C-alpha cells in the first residue's frame, strides 16, 4: 500500500518501463507505459514527452508514468511546469482506480493561465464538476506546487500553497442511489501528457483546443521537479485491503445467546463475517454487507461441523477483487461473486471493496437485545456470578493482496493510452473511454452520463510481489466475564488485528 516519499528525481533508475518492472518498488518507484515511450528522468526532473507520428495529422504519441504503490487517502504535492502553450496539448496529474473514482489536475495548452480541477465517482463522467483555478500567469514558464489533499471527509486542491477548491463528502450524497458519490477507494497516482486534438471526438477537441501544429522534430514536455506523498495509511496501518485470512478457533459455548464473531468491516458499513451462535454449535454462519445495508437474508449457515466449541477448526475468508469465498477446515462452503451483486437501480456493485479492519469478538446476543437479535442468537443466557464464556483463537494467518510492497500494474492496452493508436483506448488518458458523441467527451454539457454495468472480468492485472504468510500464534482467548447477572448490560470483549509486519492490537471492552 502507500508509502510516503519526497522524490527529487535524482536517480534515473527509479523509472522503468512497465515490461521491465522487477517488483522492487523501493528502487523502481515509477514505471511508464510500454512500447512508444517518451518519459525519462533527466536533469533532476521527471520529463514526460509528446511527439508527432510520421503522419503529422495523426494523433501524437504521449507518455504516462505511474507511481508503483497504491495511495489510500493522504496529501500529494508536485512541483510542475505544464506541457506548452499549443492548443491540444494536455498535461495531467491524476489519482484514479479501476472503479472509475478519480481526482485530478489537468492543464490544457490553449489556456496556460490556469489549471482545471475535477473528480469522478464510480465512472460517472460529470464534466460539469470541472472547475478552473484563478489566474496563475503562465503555467508553462515556471515550476508551481500543485496539491491534492484527499481526506476521508473532503478533497482539497491547492496551487502554490493556496486553497483553490474543496469538495466535502457530505455534499455528495445521492438520495436516489443511497450513496456518497465521493472517491474513497485506493487508487493509483499517474502523470501524463497527451494529444487532445488530432483524431479526438469533437467535445474533447473543443475542450483541449485544436489543432496542434506539429513539425517532424516537435516535442512537448511536461516537467515535474518534485513529488511529495504523505500517506494517511503509511504502510504500517492496521487495515486489510483484500487477501486471505485464516483463523484456527473454538467458538464460545453451547449456551443460547452467546455469539462469537470473526469480522472484516470498515466505517462505510462494508462487512464480511463468520458468526457462531451458542444455540446451535453444529455450524457457523456466513454473511456480507455493503454500505451498511443490513440484509440478513444473505446469512447462510455452513454444513454440519459437529461441535464447533469442542475443537479448533480453520475458518478462512478469501476476499478477492471479483469474489468472496468462505472456507471451513479447508473446504469451500460459500462463494459470492462481485458480478452477481450489481444493482441496476443504484448503478453500483453492492460488494465490499474498500479497506477494512479485522476483528474478533464474543458478546451477549440475548439479554437486553432487540427481539430479532434474541430470536437469532437464542435466549436467555443462563448466567451465574462467576460465569465465563470463552472464544479461543489459536492462530491467525493473514495473506495480504497488497503486502506493503505491492504494486498495481495497469493493463497493457497499446503503445500508450494517450497515443490514440488503439481505437478502443481511452481518448483523453483518464480511462473513461470517450465516444464519438461530443456530449460524452470533455465539454460543458450539463448532462451527467451513467455507467452501465462493467464487465465482471475487467480488472487490471495485479502483481502480487512479496506476498508472504504472516502468522500470529496464540492462543488468544476472548472472554465475557460477568460479576452479577442481575445488572448485566453486556457488550462483550473485542480484539482487532491488522498486518503491520505483524501487529496484533488488542482492545477489551466490557460494560457491566
Statement: residue 410 has pLDDT above 50: no
Chain segment 358-380, per-residue pLDDT in tens: 999 999 998 888 888 999 998 88
Query: What would the mean pLDDT of 478-489 be, rounded to a whole number?
Result: 31
Give CA–CA dist 41/139, Å, rounded: 21
pLDDT at 162 over 90: yes
Contact residues for 369 (Cβ-Cβ < 8 A; gap 6+): 377, 379
pLDDT tops 60 at residue 452: no
Most confident of 56-60, 80-84, 383-387, 416-420: 80-84
What would the grid cell of residue 48 be?
A: 514526460
How far apart are alpha carbons 428 and 417 in whole angstroms?
A: 8
Q: What is the Cα–Cα distance from 102 to 184, expressed in whole angstroms? A: 10
Average pLDDT over residues 328-341: 96
Domains and CATH numbers, the chain: 5-231 (2.60.120.200), 243-409 (2.60.120.200)
Q: Average pLDDT, stretch 452-464?
A: 32
- The 10s digit of each residue's pLDDT in 280-322 is 999 999 999 999 888 888 899 999 999 999 999 999 999 998 9
* 77-86, 298-307, 362-371, 468-477: least confident range: 468-477
pLDDT band per the 50, 70, 90 thresholds, residue 230: very high
Structure confidence at residue 5 as a pLDDT band (50, 70, 90): very high
Between 413 and 351, whose confidence is greater? Answer: 351
238: confidence class by pLDDT, cuts 50, 70, 90: low
CB 353, CB 185: distance < 8 Å = yes
What's the per-residue H, E or C state across 383-450?
A: CCCCCCCEEEEEEEEEEECCCCCCEECCCCCCCCCCCCCCCCCCCCCCCCCCCCCHHHCCCCCCCCCC
Q: What is the mean pLDDT of the chain?
A: 79
The reported pLDDT for the residue numbered 498 is 30
**Strand runs labelled E in 344-442:** 348-349, 357-364, 390-400, 407-408
Task: Say if residue 81's pLDDT is above 90.
Answer: yes
b/e for 112-149, b at 16 or more Cβ within 10 A? bebbbbbbbbbbbbbbebbebbeebeebbeeebbbbbb
pLDDT at 50 over 90: yes
Q: Find, among 241, 278, 246, the residue nearest to 262 by Cα.
A: 246
Place of cell 510492497: 405
Quick check: 251 pLDDT over 60?
yes
- Pull the grid cell for residue 192: 501524463
SS3 content of the chain, % helix, strand, coil (to 5): 10, 40, 50
pLDDT digits (tens, 9 = 90+) for 115-161: 999 999 998 888 888 999 999 999 999 999 999 999 989 999 999 99
Distance (Å, whole) CA 442 – CA 90: 12
pTM for the model: 0.60
- The label of the residue with cell 496551487 reads 159
Amino acid at each position: 500500500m502507500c508509502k510516503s516519499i519526497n522524490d527529487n528525481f535524482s536517480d534515473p533508475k527509479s523509472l522503468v518501463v512497465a515490461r521491465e518492472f522487477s517488483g522492487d518498488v523501493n528502487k523502481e518507484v515509477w514505471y511508464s507505459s510500454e512500447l512508444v515511450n517518451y518519459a525519462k528522468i533527466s536533469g533532476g526532473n521527471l520529463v514526460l514527452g509528446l511527439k508527432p507520428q510520421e503522419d503529422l495529422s495523426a494523433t501524437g504519441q504521449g507518455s504516462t508514468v505511474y507511481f508503483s504503490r497504491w495511495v489510500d487517502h493522504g496529501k500529494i504535492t508536485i512541483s510542475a511546469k505544464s506541457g506548452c502553450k499549443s492548443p491540444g496539448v494536455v498535461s495531467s496529474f491524476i489519482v484514479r482506480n479501476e472503479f472509475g473514482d478519480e481526482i485530478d489536475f489537468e492543464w490544457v495548452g490553449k489556456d496556460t493561465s490556469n489549471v482545471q480541477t475535477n473528480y469522478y465517482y464510480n465512472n460517472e463522467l460529470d464534466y460539469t464538476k470541472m472547475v478552473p483555478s484563478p489566474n496563475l500567469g503562465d503555467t508553462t514558464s515556471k515550476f508551481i506546487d500543485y496539491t491534492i489533499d484527499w481526506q476521508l471527509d473532503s478533497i482539497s486542491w491547492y496551487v502554490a500553497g493556496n486553497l483553490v477548491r474543496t469538495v466535502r463528502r457530505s455534499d455528495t450524497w445521492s438520495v436516489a442511489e443511497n450513496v456518497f458519490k465521493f472517491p474513497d477507494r485506493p487508487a493509483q497516482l499517474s502523470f501524463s501528457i497527451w494529444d487532445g486534438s488530432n483524431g479526438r471526438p469533437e467535445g474533447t477537441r473543443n475542450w483541449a483546443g485544436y489543432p496542434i501544429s506539429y513539425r517532424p522534430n516537435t516535442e512537448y514536455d511536461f516537467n515535474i521537479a518534485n513529488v511529495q506523498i504523505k500517506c494517511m495509511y503509511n504502510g504500517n496501518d492496521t487495515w486489510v485491503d483484500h487477501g486471505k485470512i485464516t483463523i484456527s478457533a473454538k467458538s464460545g459455548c453451547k449456551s443460547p445467546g452467546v455469539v462469537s464473531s470473526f469480522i472484516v468491516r470498515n466505517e462505510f458499513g462494508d462487512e464480511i463475517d463468520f458468526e457462531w451462535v451458542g444455540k446451535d454449535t453444529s455450524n457457523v454462519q456466513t454473511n456480507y454487507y455493503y454500505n451498511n445495508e443490513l440484509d440478513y437474508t444473505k446469512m447462510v449457515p455452513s454444513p454440519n461441523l459437529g461441535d464447533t466449541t469442542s475443537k479448533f477448526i480453520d475458518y478462512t475468508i478469501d476476499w478477492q477483487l471479483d469474489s468472496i469465498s468462505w472456507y471451513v477446515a479447508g473446504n469451500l462452503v460459500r462463494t459470492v461473486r462481485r458480478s452477481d451483486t450489481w444493482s441496476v437501480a443504484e448503478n453500483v456493485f453492492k460488494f465490499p471493496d474498500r479497506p477494512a479492519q479485522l476483528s474478533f469478538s464474543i458478546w451477549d446476543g440475548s439479554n437486553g437485545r432487540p427481539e430479532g437479535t434474541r430470536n437469532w442468537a437464542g435466549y436467555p443466557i443462563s448466567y451465574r456470578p462467576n460465569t465465563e464464556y470463552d472464544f479461543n483463537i489459536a492462530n491467525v494467518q493473514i495473506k495480504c493482496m497488497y503486502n506493503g510492497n505491492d504494486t498495481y500494474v495497469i493493463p497493457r492496452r497499446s503503445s500508450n493510452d494517450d497515443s490514440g493508436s488503439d481505437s478502443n483506448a481511452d481518448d483523453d488518458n483518464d480511462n473513461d473511454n470517450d465516444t464519438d458523441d461530443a456530449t460524452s467527451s470533455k465539454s460543458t454539457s450539463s448532462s451527467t452520463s451513467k455507467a452501465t454495468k462493467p464487465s465482471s472480468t475487467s480488472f487490471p492485472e495485479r502483481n502480487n510481489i512479496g506476498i508472504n504468510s504472516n502468522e500470529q500464534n496464540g492462543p488468544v482467548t476472548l472472554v465475557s466475564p460477568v460479576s452479577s447477572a442481575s445488572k448485566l448490560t453486556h457488550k462483550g470483549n473485542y480484539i482487532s488485528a491488522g498486518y503491520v509486519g505483524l501487529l496484533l492490537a488488542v482492545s477489551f471492552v466490557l460494560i457491566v
